[in-house]
Structure 1
Amino acid sequence: MVSIDEIVKEVRSKGRIIGAPESLLVVHDSPQSDGTPYVKIVDGFCFYISTERGLEISKKKASNLDQILYFIFSRITKRMASDYELRNRIPHQDCRRIIFEKQISLLKKLDESWASRRQQEIVSTLINHPYDDEL
């Protein structure tokens, strides 16, 4: 059974590998009501839940430490990649090109399978919402 303490320890350890800011490495264990995810452990499963104004807006179920860490680091690396894109924006290019590339490179430093999983999610997103470089 995974504990909150174990998750926090792993998040901090892996966060150092990618140079994540401390502010992104906070693991909440109760609702924040502002959309910030928290981890809830019930009957051996971890749930990564976001609530906003008392309403659950997202809930992902993980059966092991690897899965919950993937959910957590998908969010952390997306935030880091978005910040990177803001500092390195290319005019008239869909900002997601830089964000997705940076996020994949950060995830690869942590776990190749996480990078592959995220890459598949990005491909799926782009099928329905292709790049628009005329922004």
Structure 2
Amino acid sequence: MEDIRVIQNEVFRLGSKVNASHNSLIILTKPSDYGKPYLHISEDRYEYIYSERGFEFSRKSTKDLDELFYWIIYPVVHQMAVEYELLHRVDEHEDCRKIIFPKLLKYLGKINPLWAEMAKKELPPI
């Protein structure tokens, strides 16, 4: 298993491919009170955990470092796509996902083309 410093540096490198905010890419290693996920590294796996005020509501576990990077980066670029849509909204009555989803896939594809393909399968049809 990789050390948190190695993982953090790689997340910064990947995020820089799409000009993601440095602060949005900081990985916590302990729970916070406001629901931001944190990373627990055990001897044989990575666990990405969402909890808030002591209540755990999601835990993902993997041995695959690339999968971990996807979990960390996805919400960051999703938020970037939402912000892009807000700035480029054409019609307030149109489904905002028509702008968000393509932008999200574009960001993910710039980082790793396989991630865009994974996300495309996960996204609901518009």
Partner of 2:108: 107
Moved over 2 A (4+): none
Q: Which runs of 5+ in 1 are unaligned?
A: none
Superposed CA deviations along residues 47-102 of structure 1, whole A, max 9, x for unmatched, are 11111121111111121210100101111111111111111113211112211111
Mapped to 2, the partners of 1:97 and 1:60 lie a distance apart of 29
Deviation at 1:22, TM superposition (A): 1.4
Partner of 1:69: 69
Count of residue pairs brought into register by the alignment: 125
Deviation at 1:33, TM superposition (A): 2.4
Q: Which runs of 5+ in 2 are unaligned?
A: none
Deviation at 1:46, TM superposition (A): 0.7
Alignment of 1:13-92 (within 5 A): 13-91=13-91, 92=93
Q: CA contact under 8 A between 1:35 and 1:57: conserved in structure 2?
A: no
Task: Give the letter aligned to residue 107 of structure 1.
Answer: L
Task: Give the letter aligned to residue 59 of structure 1.
Answer: R
Aligned-pair identity in percent equals 35
Partner of 2:5: 5
Mapped to 1, the partners of 2:106 and 2:89 lie a distance apart of 17
Task: Give the letter aligned to residue 9 of structure 2.
Answer: K
Aligned-pair RMSD on alpha carbons?
A: 1.2
Mapped to 2, the partners of 1:86 and 1:62 lie a distance apart of 34
Q: TM-score, normalised by structure 2?
A: 0.93
Q: TM-score, normalised by structure 1?
A: 0.87
